[in-house]
Amino acid sequence: MRRRLYEYVAAQGREVGRNEAAQATGVARTLAAHHLDRLAEAGLLESGSRRLTGRSGPGAGRPAKVYTRARAERSVSLPARDYRTAAELLAEAAEQAGLDAGLCAAARRRGEALRGSAAPCGDLEQAMEMLAARGYEPHLEGVEGASGAAADVVRMRNCPFHAVAERFPPLVCGMNLALLEGLLGTDGPVHARMDARPGNCCVVVESSKNNDD
């Protein structure tokens, strides 16, 4: 429930009041307020107060509490852990040793294990869910196919491996693609492929039938 509230607020890209968040996620207002405040305490949301009615002065009533997603990149670890330094050192060593193939094989196996089921991902909607759960912030984008027919691809606003990917792009982006290939399957209705653009994850997901055009 807390995740739903966070995701709703994050996806709006503006201030969201308690009533709106409660209605959108189908949660009672007092319960929504409790979880929103807990998210703000954890630093994942920022809270402020605003008179949503637009009135001001003594008769305007109590200002309502509003929430937005916190801008800063956060990681919380108790007790203190430093996986980022470990990841950077391992990536540096893998880069120098040319271990791309071994890393991708491990990533593909991990993706398959995360998928759990034997069947590949069924459609783009399911792919969106799987990607959202792993922090990729997917969204659908329409593209004109070669035949002129509009087809959708899933693009991702967030790279979960951002800091390491910036330092070792071919290695880490290759790892990311292999992980997603494992997660979604390579011979099912949808597949992942590399299509890097500034400001986005380097991978897109599309329907496999697009290729038959």
Partner 1 sequence: MTASTHAAHLAQLNVATLRHPFDDPRVAPFVEMLEPVNAAADSAPGFVWRLVEEGAADATGLRPAGEDVIVNLSVWETPEALWDFAYRSGHLEVMRRRREWFERHVEAHLVLWWVPAGHVPTVDEALERLADLQAHGPSARAFTFASSYTAAEAAIEAEAEAVQHLQAAPPTQPEAIN
Q: Which residues bind partner 1 (CB under 8 A)?
A: 97-98, 100-101, 167, 169-170, 173-174, 177, 194-199, 202
In whole angstroms, the minimum distance from the beta carbon of 183 to partner 1 comes to: 17
Q: Which is nearer to partner 1, 135 or 169 (CB)?
A: 169
In whole angstroms, the minimum distance from the beta carbon of 91 to partner 1 comes to: 12
Residue 169 has, within 13 A of its CA and on its CB side, a CA count of: 9
**Torsion on CA atoms 21, 27, 30, 33, rounded to nearest 10:** -40
Q: Which is nearer to partner 1, 6 or 168 (CB)?
A: 168
Q: Which is nearer to partner 1, 20 or 206 (CB)?
A: 206
CA distance 131 to 186: 15
Question: Is residue 33 left, alpha or beta, with left meaning phi > 0 and alpha meaning psi from -120 to 50?
Answer: alpha
In whole angstroms, the minimum distance from the beta carbon of 7 to partner 1 comes to: 27
In whole angstroms, the minimum distance from the beta carbon of 38 to partner 1 comes to: 37
In whole angstroms, the minimum distance from the beta carbon of 138 to partner 1 comes to: 18
With vertex at residue 202, the alpha carbon angle to CA 81 and CA 191, rounded to the nearest 5 degrees, is 105
Q: Which is nearer to partner 1, 59 or 198 (CB)?
A: 198
Residue 193 and residue 134 in contact, taking contact as beta carbons nearer than 8 Å: no
Determine the angle formed by the axes of helices 83-97 and 169-184, rounding to 10 degrees.
Answer: 100
Q: Is 179 helix (H, G, I), strand (E, B) or coil?
A: helix
Q: Which is nearer to partner 1, 163 or 196 (CB)?
A: 196
